[in-house]
């Protein structure tokens, strides 16, 4: 058993002013990092962790819930996408489009998670639109690919895999350990996947990134 002091968890005060079951929010789908979806707090765990479910796709037994920390940069308050001109993925099967949070909350009898609970810290990361980098694919952990920053929203980066369609883009936090500077693969002797050519597009790259356990400074 590993001693708990080896694991870094942000201290949070889970007092009366904290996430509660049933609250609505917006969240990056961990199985499709190109999508920010309408979501619900399904369960409040210890140490600031939350079980989140994507609205319209929850399994009855909760087997498709996923765990995010309350300070995770992958969850956002209601209205985040609209304010930042990002497409919000509505619940599967929801017919009243375009989606409106005010109407949806009223129909569901739900409340939005308070804005002040979310992580608002934005580090001076230095990323700019058009910058090239090397990024890892979660579904194929062995792959590190040529990529481009195509959009920046606060600390959130839209990562595009060069040579692939936009639908495989990923929303990634600026401090993600899955992003590396140009030349990282050459420096470490690891194979870099070049931009995909049209003739080789048989199986698309995953829209997810994985944690490699290696933190490479981006400065």
Query: Which pLDDT value is given to residue 62?
Result: 82
Label residue 199 by pLDDT band (50, 70, 90).
Answer: very low
Question: What is the helix (H) or strand (E) element at residue 41, kind and residue range?
Answer: strand 32-44
Three-class SS state of 186: helix
Report how far residue 128's alpha carbon sits from residue 103's, in angstroms, rounded to the nearest whole number.
Answer: 36
In the predicted structure, residue 175 carries a pLDDT above the cut 80: yes
Q: What is the DSSP letter of 112?
A: B
pLDDT of 155: 96
25, 47 Cβ separation under 8 angstroms = no
Query: Is residue 66 pLDDT above 70, yes or no?
Result: yes
Q: Are 69 and 50 in contact (CB under 8 A)?
A: yes
Query: Residue 183: what pLDDT?
Result: 96
Q: What is the pTM of this model?
A: 0.83
């Amino acid at each position: 058993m590993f001693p708990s002091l080896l694991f870094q968890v942000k201290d949070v005060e889970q007092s009366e002013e904290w996430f509660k079951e049933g609250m609505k929010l917006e969240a990056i789908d961990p199985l499709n990092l190109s999508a920010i979806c309408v979501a619900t707090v399904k369960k409040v765990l210890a140490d600031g962790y939350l079980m989140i479910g994507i609205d319209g796709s929850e399994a009855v037994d909760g087997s498709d819930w996923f765990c995010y920390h309350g300070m995770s940069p992958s969850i956002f308050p209601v209205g985040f996408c609209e304010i930042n001109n990002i497409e919000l993925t509505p619940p599967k099967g929801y017919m009243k489009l375009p989606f409106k949070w005010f109407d949806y909350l009223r129909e569901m009898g739900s409340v939005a998670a308070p804005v002040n609970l979310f992580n608002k810290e934005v580090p001076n990361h230095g990323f700019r639109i058009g910058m090239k980098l090397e990024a890892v694919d979660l579904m194929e952990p062995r792959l590190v690919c040529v990529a481009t920053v195509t959009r920046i929203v606060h600390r959130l980066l839209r990562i595009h895999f060069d040579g692939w369609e936009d639908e495989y883009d990923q929303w990634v936090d600026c401090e993600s350990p899955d992003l590396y500077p140009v030349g990282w693969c050459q420096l470490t002797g690891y194979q870099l996947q070049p931009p995909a050519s049209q003739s080789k597009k048989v199986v698309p790259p995953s829209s997810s990134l994985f944690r490699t356990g290696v933190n490479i400074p981006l400065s």
